[in-house]
Amino acid sequence: PPMDPIDGGGSEKFRIFQKDNFEADWLKVGERTFGRVYKVKLKLWREVCAIKGFCTSMPQTSSSRGVIEKVSKMRKLKFKYIVTVYGACTDPPAVVMEYMSSGSLEGLLNSHELMWPKKFQMIHEVAMGMNFLHSMSPPHLHLNLKPANVLLDDHLHVKISDFGFIKWEDFSSSKEFIEHLTARGNLSYIPPETFTESSDPPGTKFDVYSFAIVIWEILTQKKAFPGANMMTVLMKVSSGKRPSVEKIPDDKPKESEAMMNIMQRCWLQKPCDRPPFTDIVRETEALSEVLKIPDVLQDVYRPHKAFATVFTLKEPRIKMNPDSGGEVSQKTFDFLLKKDFRN
Ligand code: ATP
Ligand code: MG
């Protein structure tokens, strides 16, 4: 019997979408060298999704079979801290996934100053997502972990995206692999061993190194190696240089020493010296627990739609007004929601 185009049959329902399964207006949310991301609405589910086009020059994704194969592997991975993949589109070749309303961590780090508890929570949530991917057998390598691939939901919780697009096997040489990564502007997240001449295929410790750079970028809200040319970065990193811990703001809580210690172990020169995510999550869990916003405060703020904002932004801190029973006026929240604290 012919296959239902929406339900591919089999136990693991895999969906193949066509262009006309979506409403006509496609809103572009991101554009890069390697394809575009649109916000679209699925007619059948009445739900918005994100559709990300494959770049057809990428190995394996030039054929619809290649696209389906790649996406079907991603679709099997389901977890709180990773973006849900709904299915594939073969014309145009694309992956259809959950739409993340608050954009990427890269954007948030630029636009808002984050409170320490939120920074710690985000680091822990990224570690949780990565630990899940690595817990597959064989481990599912991301190879493209960076703040642009850490997406945020309505409540500013983290989900990792774009896992499984880049596979070492798709490239004929390590030179080609590096070229592909650097063309995406990912140089800062690539561990030094990748640059050595007879480098082994990347393993889980590749992602652990990228995670260390992500920690640094969350703690400092800066870009690692800004504006430096490729050769300089490559030589610095190969000789053991890393982004400066001095850049981490001085108002840090004492727990950040432990967080910086995790970060520094994660970017050690030798891959085998870096800890696995199974260890990392335990440490980040303990640290984010210590810095958690006290429950009393959470109870006061949770009913407000701006709760996520209050929990996130550092300045100005909201003081509870004892006269109003701990309520913060709607005006204050509206003000906070609109304000961009970087300017
Ligand atoms: P890479 O191709 O290496 O992953 P990138 O992450 O910088 O590069 P895209 O993955 O194309 O670029 O994403 C571009 C932008 O689109 C992201 O920064 C993000 O803001 C937005 N975006 C991507 N996926 C989604 C999604 N599922 N929901 C909402 N916005 C998304
Ligand atoms: Mg991406």
Handedness of CA 217, 218, 219, 222 (dihedral sign): positive
- HEC per residue, 236-247: HHHCCCCCCHHH
- Residue 343: which pLDDT band, with cuts at 50, 70 and 90? very low
pLDDT the model gives residue 237: 96
What gap in Å lies between CA 234 and CA 229, rounded to an integer?
A: 9
* pLDDT tens column, 152-199: 998 889 999 999 888 888 888 888 888 888 887 789 999 999 988 777
Query: Which of 85-99, 112-126, 324-338 is least confident?
Result: 324-338
Say whether pLDDT at 62 is over 80. Answer: no
Query: What does the pLDDT look like over 213-239, one tens digit per residue?
Result: 999 999 999 999 988 788 899 999 999
Predicted confidence at residue 3, as pLDDT, reads 47
H or E stretch including 5? Answer: none
CB 39 within 8 A of CB 60: no
Is there an atom of ligand 1 within 6 Å of 145 CB? Answer: no
pLDDT of residue 132: 98
pLDDT of residue 71: 85
Q: What is the pLDDT of residue 178?
A: 86
Mean local confidence (pLDDT), 204-221: 97
At 120-155, the pLDDT tens digits run 999 999 999 999 999 999 999 999 999 999 999 988
CA-proximal residue: ligand 1, atom 18 (nearest): 148
Atom of ligand 1 at shortest range from CA of 99: 28
Highest mean pLDDT (candidates 4-13, 241-250, 276-285, 286-295): 276-285
Question: What phi and psi values does residue 94 have, to the nearest 5 degrees?
Answer: -160, 165
Task: Determine whether the shortest distance from the Cβ of 48 to ligand 1 is under 6 A.
Answer: no
Helix then strand then coil, % of the chain, to nearest 5:
45, 15, 45
pLDDT top residue among 26 and 67: 26
For the residues 206-217, what does the mean pLDDT come to?
A: 98
Residue among 175, 220, 219 nearest 194 (CA)? 175
Please give the model's pTM, rounded to 2 decimal places. Answer: 0.85
Alpha carbon of 19 to ligand 1 centroid (Å): 20
CA of residue 237 to ligand 1 center, whole Å:
26
- For residues 57 and 326, the model is more confident at 57
**Token pair for 204:** 């889980």
The confidence score (pLDDT) of residue 205 equals 97
Give the best-scoring range by mean pLDDT among 59-63, 114-118, 242-246, 250-254. 242-246
**What is the per-residue pLDDT for 338?**
46
- For β-strands 27-32 and 35-42, DSSP reports them as antiparallel
- In the β-sheet with 27-32, what is the strand arrangement from edge to edge? 15-17, 85-90, 93-98, 47-53, 35-42, 27-32
Atom number, ligand 1, closest to the C-alpha of residue 106: 18
Note every long-range contact of 309-313, with CB atoms under 8 Å and residues 24 or more positions apart, other chains counting.
309/333, 309/336, 309/337, 310/336, 311/115, 311/117, 311/118, 311/156, 312/112, 312/114, 312/115, 312/118, 312/156, 313/112, 313/113, 313/114, 313/115, 313/341
pLDDT in tens, 67-100: 888 888 888 899 999 999 999 988 888 999 999 9
In short, whether 149's Cβ falls inside 6 Å of ligand 1 is yes
Q: What is the pLDDT of residue 301?
A: 52
Task: Kindly report the average pLDDT of the chain as a whole number.
Answer: 82
Q: CB of 151 closer than 6 A to ligand 1?
A: yes
